[in-house]
A and B are shown apart, each in its own frame.
Chain A
Amino acid sequence: MSDVHVRSRGGFVENTLEGLHSAMERALYAETAASRTGLLQQLDPRVKVAGLFALILAAALSTKLWLIAALLVATVAMALVSAIPLRIIAARAWLGAFIFSGMIATPALFLTPGTALYGLPITLQGVRTAGFLVLRAEAAATLMLALVYTTPWMHVLKALRIFRVPVIFVVILGMTCRYILLLLQTAHEMFESRKSRTVNSISAADQRRMAIAGSGVLLGKTLHLSDEVYLAMQARGFRGEVCLLDDFRMRTADWCALGIFAVAAAAAIWAGR
Chain B
Amino acid sequence: MLFDLDRLTYRYEGVPAVDNLSLRIPEGSRVALLGANGSGKSTLLRLLGGLIFAQSGEILFRGEELSEVHLTDDSWAFPFRRSVGMVFQNPDVQLFNPTVFDEVAFGPLQMRWPKGQVRDAVGEILNQLRIGHLKDRVPHRLSGGEKKRVALASVLVLDPAVLLLDEPTAALDPRSQSEVIDLLVEWGGGAKSVITATHDLGDLEDIADHCFVLDSGQLVAEGRPQEILANTELLERTNLIHAHRHGHGSGRLHSHAHVHKDGA
Please report A residues at the B interface, Cβ cutoff 8 Å: 28, 31, 152-154, 178, 181, 185, 225, 228-229, 231-239, 241, 243-245, 247
Interface residues of B in 18-62 (CB under 8 A from A): 46, 49, 51-52
| Tally of contact residues, B, Cβ under 8 A | 35
Query: A31-B98, A236-B106 are known contacts; what are 14 more A-B pairs with Cβ within 8 Å?
Result: A31-B138, A154-B102, A181-B140, A225-B92, A231-B93, A232-B88, A235-B86, A236-B154, A237-B77, A237-B82, A237-B107, A238-B106, A244-B109, A245-B115
Residue of A nearest to B91 (CB): A232
Determine if B93 and A228 form an interchain contact, defined as CB atoms under 8 angstroms apart: yes
Determine if B109 and A178 form an interchain contact, defined as CB atoms under 8 angstroms apart: no
Determine if A229 and B105 form an interchain contact, defined as CB atoms under 8 angstroms apart: no
- B112 within 8 Å of A (CB atoms): yes
Are A152 and B49 also in contact (CB < 8 A) when A237-B78, A243-B109, A243-B112 are?
A: no
Determine if A229 and B93 form an interchain contact, defined as CB atoms under 8 angstroms apart: yes
Residue of B nearest to A231 (CB): B51
Residue of A nearest to B154 (CB): A236
- B211 within 8 Å of A (CB atoms): no
Are A245 and B118 also in contact (CB < 8 A) when A233-B96, A234-B51, A235-B81 are?
A: yes
Determine if B98 and A152 form an interchain contact, defined as CB atoms under 8 angstroms apart: yes
Least CB distance, B46 to chain A, in whole angstroms:
7
Q: Is the interface of B mostly helix, strand, loop or mixed?
A: helix
Interface residues of B in 75-112 (CB under 8 A from A): 77-78, 81-82, 85-86, 88, 90, 92-94, 96-98, 102, 105-107, 109-112
Which B residues touch A232, using CB under 8 A? 86, 88, 93-94, 96
Which B residues touch A154, using CB under 8 A? 97-98, 102
- B119 within 8 Å of A (CB atoms): yes
Determine if B78 and A178 form an interchain contact, defined as CB atoms under 8 angstroms apart: no
In the bound assembly, the distance between CA atoms of A185 and B93 in angstroms comes to 12
Contact of A245 among B52, B90, B105, B158 (CB under 8 A): B105
Are A231 and B46 also in contact (CB < 8 A) when A236-B81, A239-B110 are?
A: yes
Determine if A236 and B115 form an interchain contact, defined as CB atoms under 8 angstroms apart: no
Which B residues touch A234, using CB under 8 A? 51, 81
In the bound assembly, the distance between CA atoms of A83 and B140 in angstroms comes to 26
Least CB distance, B187 to chain A, in whole angstroms:
17
In the bound assembly, the distance between CA atoms of A273 and B141 in angstroms comes to 50
Which A residues touch B201, using CB under 8 A? none
Q: Is the interface of A mostly helix, strand, loop or mixed?
A: helix
Determine if B107 and A236 form an interchain contact, defined as CB atoms under 8 angstroms apart: yes
Residue of A nearest to B118 (CB): A245
- B155 within 8 Å of A (CB atoms): yes
Are A243 and B96 also in contact (CB < 8 A) when A185-B140, A232-B88, A235-B49 are?
A: no
5 pairs of residues in contact across A and B, judged by CB atoms under 8 Å = A228-B88, A231-B93, A235-B81, A237-B77, A239-B77
In the bound assembly, the distance between CA atoms of A247 and B109 in angstroms comes to 12
- B74 within 8 Å of A (CB atoms): yes
Which A residues touch B112, using CB under 8 A? 243
Which B residues touch A229, using CB under 8 A? 93-94, 96
Determine if B110 and A243 form an interchain contact, defined as CB atoms under 8 angstroms apart: yes
Contact of B51 among A28, A235, A237 (CB under 8 A): A235
Q: B112-151: contact bitstring with A at CB < 8 Å (1 yes, 0 no)?
A: 1001001100000000000000000010100000000000
Are A228 and B110 also in contact (CB < 8 A) when A245-B105, A245-B119 are?
A: no
In the bound assembly, the distance between CA atoms of A241 and B77 in angstroms comes to 14
Contact of B85 among A185, A228, A235, A243 (CB under 8 A): A235
In the bound assembly, the distance between CA atoms of A203 and B103 in angstroms comes to 45
Determine if B158 and A236 form an interchain contact, defined as CB atoms under 8 angstroms apart: yes
Which A residues touch B90, using CB under 8 A? 228
Determine if B110 and A238 form an interchain contact, defined as CB atoms under 8 angstroms apart: yes
Residue of B nearest to A228 (CB): B93
In the bound assembly, the distance between CA atoms of A229 and B88 in angstroms comes to 10
Which A residues touch B97, using CB under 8 A? 154
In the bound assembly, the distance between CA atoms of A232 and B49 in angstroms comes to 10
Are A247 and B107 also in contact (CB < 8 A) when A237-B81, A239-B77 are?
A: no
Determine if A28 and B138 form an interchain contact, defined as CB atoms under 8 angstroms apart: yes
Which A residues touch B155, using CB under 8 A? 235-236
In the bound assembly, the distance between CA atoms of A244 and B102 in angstroms comes to 8
Least CB distance, A111 to chain B, in whole angstroms:
46
Q: B140-177: contact bitstring with A at CB < 8 Å (1 yes, 0 no)?
A: 10000000000000110010000000000000000000
In the bound assembly, the distance between CA atoms of A247 and B119 in angstroms comes to 13
Q: Which of A28, A152, A225, A231 has the most CB of B within 10 A?
A: A231
Which B residues touch A241, using CB under 8 A? 110
Determine if A237 and B111 form an interchain contact, defined as CB atoms under 8 angstroms apart: yes
